[in-house]
């Protein structure tokens, strides 16, 4: 599609520059004016939203650049190379070539080129201005400017002079080639070669742009939730305009709801969020474009104050967090595998839930560079007020450690210290085992211990060793 589009734009530019008359120009401008009138309702809504003080948020805004001077080149990179050359230096080079190419178009076609030059440059300057002053654009929003820009690029290719420069014989390259008996490409072939190069760059850049890391990674976000969700989970998406994208990719069973266009300190989050989480033990919170929708993390603070953080991952463009509002249970759920391991006379491990039992050691979409093995252990204290430290890690058959548990300041062991646990109650305790990204392929044990004063307690029961129990296994592949 890109290839045919590039060729079509080059041909269109050639025809346009050679044959467009005053009447055709007026018709084109009239159609553009009509499109502008039809756009006014949307433009009015955008203007009202911008004047309200709410940032519209995007990749292209002053906060993403060392200087506003970098924005025009970045805009051109997005249109012409799909961000393949997304560096400040490349942006300035592309901008300089665009200016030189426009000058060549004007030099060759004069008044025939005025309509396209005006339309393309007004659009380009407008897009850059909105990015600098209105915080408006993400790369996909620039698609509307691509046809004009590509057509102008086609005109630039056709405007390149084909006459050989006749300077000093010593520097006359064409003469050297002719004398050596080699074939010299005709002018049209040279232009065609430039078109081919442009097509190849476009195809390569489209391939690079398919990388999920460079845009909102809804696929990774929804796949993670699908793999780790449990019955009676709920998903809350903030802002509400992100829920449609989530629903499009989501194939899980949890109830999904979007709420609030944005979060600020004037909102009464208790009255808004409390009814949404009522009746649910676990709630997934998907914060989409948080730098815009909730820059002060007010919604996340609301969840943290009321629930245990189970896990959190960070696909491009969003954060996904799971909160447990009821980590205390009286019976092992059906999804968990029963265990019967005791550690001294202080603790008992009653069950384990392992959502995924195989995967890579590396991860470049949720939390680069390493994968996390998510494990939920169901602990019971055997003595009121007992103070011990439950530990889980990933080890090989020789006991070498390849992954330890991440520590979060809002996890269960911080919010509900072991010394406050009561016998007869199971405490649903989540762990994210951070795998060494260089872990060799193979099967690894989820080794669980209980420490008191830094020393392990003796273990008894099924699948136990002297001081440990194997709660499950994870295959690195």
Close Cβ partners of 68 (under 8 Å, ≥ 6 residues apart): 62, 132
Residue 23: band (very low, low, confident or very high) from pLDDT cuts 50, 70, 90: low
The answer to whether the CB of 229 falls within 8 A of the CB of 284 is yes
Estimate the crossing angle of helix 2-19 against helix 88-109, to 10 degrees: 30
- Average confidence (pLDDT) over 333-352: 95
Residue 410: half-sphere exposure toward Cβ, Cα within 13 Å: 18
Q: What are the backbone angles phi and psi of residue 247, rounded to the nearest 5°?
A: -60, -35
Average pLDDT, the chain: 84
Strand 358-359 relative to strand 469-476, pairing: parallel
What is the DSSP code (8-state) at residue 420?
A: G
d(CA 78, CA 224): 29
Q: Which two tokens stand for residue 416?
A: 């509900």
Of the listed ranges 114-118, 172-176, 344-348, 360-364, the least confidently predicted one is 172-176
Q: What is the DSSP string of 107-175?
A: HHHGGGGHHHHHHHHHHHHHHHHHHHHS--B-GGGGGGGHHHHHHHHHHHHHHS--SPP---GGG-HHH
pLDDT at 438 over 80: yes
Q: The domain 328-476: what is its CATH number?
A: 2.60.40.770
Of the listed ranges 52-61, 124-133, 346-355, 364-373, the least confidently predicted one is 52-61
Q: Where are the domains of the chain?
A: 2-210, 218-324, 328-476
- Average confidence (pLDDT) over 80-102: 80
Strand 233-238 relative to strand 282-288, pairing: parallel
pLDDT at 125 over 90: no
Residue 413: band (very low, low, confident or very high) from pLDDT cuts 50, 70, 90: very high
Query: pLDDT tens digits for 298-314?
Result: 999 999 999 999 999 99
d(CA 367, CA 315): 7
Q: Return the pLDDT at 216.
A: 86
Q: Which two tokens stand for residue 223?
A: 């796949």
- Average confidence (pLDDT) over 248-270: 94
Close Cβ partners of 229 (under 8 Å, ≥ 6 residues apart): 252, 253, 254, 284
d(CA 183, CA 165): 18
Q: ∠ CA 141-238-226 to the nearest 5 degrees?
A: 95
- Average confidence (pLDDT) over 401-406: 96
137 or 284, which is more confident: 284
Q: Return the pLDDT at 137.
A: 64
Classified as helix, coil or strand, 266 is coil
Q: ∠ CA 445-404-282 to the nearest 5 degrees?
A: 90
pLDDT at 319 over 90: yes
Q: What is the DSSP string of 97-119?
A: HHHHHHHHHHHHHGGGGHHHHHH
CA distance to 74, 191, 249, 314, 403, per residue, from 217 (Å): 21, 39, 10, 9, 26
């Amino acid at each position: 599609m890109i290839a045919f589009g590039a060729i079509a734009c080059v041909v269109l530019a050639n025809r346009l520059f050679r044959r467009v008359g005053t009447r055709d120009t007026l018709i084109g401008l009239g159609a553009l004016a009509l499109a502008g009138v039809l756009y006014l309702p949307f433009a009015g809504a955008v203007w009202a939203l911008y004047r309200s003080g709410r940032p519209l948020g995007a990749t292209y805004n002053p906060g993403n650049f060392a200087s506003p001077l970098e924005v025009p080149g970045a805009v051109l990179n997005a249109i012409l190379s799909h961000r393949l050359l997304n560096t400040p230096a490349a942006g300035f080079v592309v901008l300089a070539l665009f200016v030189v190419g426009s000058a060549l178009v004007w030099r060759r076609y004069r008044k025939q080129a005025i309509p396209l030059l005006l339309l393309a440059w007004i659009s380009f300057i407008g897009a850059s201005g909105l990015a600098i002053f209105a915080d408006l654009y993400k790369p996909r929003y620039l698609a509307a400017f691509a046809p004009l820009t590509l057509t102008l690029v086609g005109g630039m290719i056709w405007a390149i002079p084909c006459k050989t420069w006749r300077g000093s014989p010593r520097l006359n390259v064409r003469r050297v080639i002719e004398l050596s008996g080699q074939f010299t490409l005709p002018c049209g072939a040279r232009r065609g070669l430039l078109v081919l190069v442009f097509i190849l760059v476009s195809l390569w850049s489209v391939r690079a742009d398919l990388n999920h890391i460079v845009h909102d990674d809804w696929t990774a976000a929804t796949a993670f939730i699908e793999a780790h969700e449990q019955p009676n989970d709920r998903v809350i998406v903030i802002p509400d305009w992100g829920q449609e994208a989530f629903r499009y990719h989501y194939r899980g069973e949890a109830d999904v709801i979007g709420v609030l266009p944005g979060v600020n300190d004037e909102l009464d989050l208790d009255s808004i969020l409390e009814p949404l989480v009522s009746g649910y033990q676990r709630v997934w919170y998907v914060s989409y474009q948080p730098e815009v929708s909730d820059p002060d993390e007010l919604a996340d603070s609301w969840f943290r104050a009321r629930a245990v953080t189970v896990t959190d991952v960070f696909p491009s463009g969003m954060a996904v967090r799971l909160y447990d509002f009821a980590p205390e249970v009286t019976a092992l759920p059906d999804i968990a595998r029963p265990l019967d391991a005791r550690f001294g006379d202080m603790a008992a491990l009653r069950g384990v839930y392992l959502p995924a039992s195989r995967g890579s050691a590396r991860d470049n979409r949720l939390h680069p560079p390493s994968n996390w093995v998510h494990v939920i252990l169901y602990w019971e204290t055997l003595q009121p007020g007992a103070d011990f430290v439950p530990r889980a890690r990933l080890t090989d058959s020789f006991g070498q450690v390849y992954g330890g548990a991440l520590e979060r300041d809002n996890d269960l062991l911080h919010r509900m210290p072991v010394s406050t646990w009561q016998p007869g109650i199971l405490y649903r305790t989540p762990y994210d085992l951070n795998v060494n990204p260089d872990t060799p392929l193979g099967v690894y044990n989820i080794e669980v211990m209980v420490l008191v004063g830094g020393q392990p307690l003796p273990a008894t029961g099924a699948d136990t060793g002297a001081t440990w129990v194997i709660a499950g296994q994870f295959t690195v592949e």
